[in-house]
Amino acid sequence: MDPVLADLLQLLTLERVEDNIFRGQSRDIGSPQVYGGQVLGQALRAACQTVDGRVAHSLHAYFLRRGDMEAPIVYEVDRARDGRSFSNRRVVAIQHGRQIFNMTASFQIQEAGLEHQAEMPDVPGPDGLEDLRDIKRNVLAKLPERVRRFLTIDRPFDVRPVDMPDFLSNEKLKPVKHIWMKTIDRVPDDKETNQVLLAYVSDYELLGTATLPHGLRFVREQVQMASLDHALWFHHPCRFDEWLLFSFDSPSASGARGLSRGQVFTRDGVLVASTAQEGLMRERKSS
């Protein structure tokens, strides 16, 4: 397995401290604090470790404080309920004696039932699209050092935007974004690992969709952004080593907050997950 991907899978495998208590580490991916998707993925993994015979179908989380990349994160799981069909878990993430994050996740036995889904957007497939890392050097040279590092660091995912962003433009765009993603190598077949990977990635690029109508670019440090809450619903199993289309839109921004929604489709059009996030979105005033 590719070592970058193997390192991510190791990061998402927690140390069991005792019943219902787990410990995770962090990785620097070029962001100024612990990446929110890492905490989502680790919290979901902790909850999964306390459930047997049921699969996660939703999670709802709040980001309370910035995570410290130099300190471990302790996850405490409350086994809130085990019913005949559903189980509920509450997970609290703690650093330096304080909550930085909390999440509720729900699990269900596998059942058949009525089905319908939204149609997949009519966009080009991933073949022939540029990866996000293929940014021109002359563009990178005009971006802040911290942002250059974030954009060029080795990633465990192929990320191919349908429309490559123009990092130097202040053009106001529709609040819509489509991105193809998959892991750069094969991953284990189990549903839990693929759900944890999906949770990890679900925080990536989502909130930025809300900045598009305002001509602001996070990579140019024109806006202060931070995840506040996050929801994720799993509809069908998926493999993350096969292409998935992340289709994002933002219906609203107000009160220094932006709301973004996402749908995740397989290449053949199956809607496997939906997500939503509200985040802090403050314009940085130039001096």
Residues known to be catalytic: 203, 227, 277
113 CB-contact burial (10 Å; exposed 0-12 / middle 13-18 / buried 19+): exposed
How many Å separate Cα 35 from the centre of its chain?
A: 9
User: CA–CA distance from 101 to each of 21, 37, 153, 167, 170 (Å)?
Assistant: 15, 11, 26, 31, 33
Q: Are 145 and 213 in contact (CB under 8 A)?
A: no
Closest C-alpha among 200, 205, 285, 201 to residue 250: 205
Check if the beta carbon of residue 180 is closer than 8 Å to that of residue 243: yes
Residue pointed to by tokens 């496997």? 272
Partner residues linked to 89 by β-bridges: 105
Which runs of consecutive H residues, i.e. helices, occur in 25-162?
36-48, 137-140, 145-152
What the block records as the tokens of 80 is 């809130």
Count H helices and E strands in the chain, helices first: 5, 12
Question: Strand order of the sheet with strand 86-95?
Answer: 15-18, 21-24, 73-82, 86-95, 98-108, 55-63, 223-234, 271-283, 257-266, 244-254, 176-183, 157-161
Nearest to 221 by CA among 114, 143, 278: 143
How many angstroms from the chain centroid is the CA of residue 56?
16
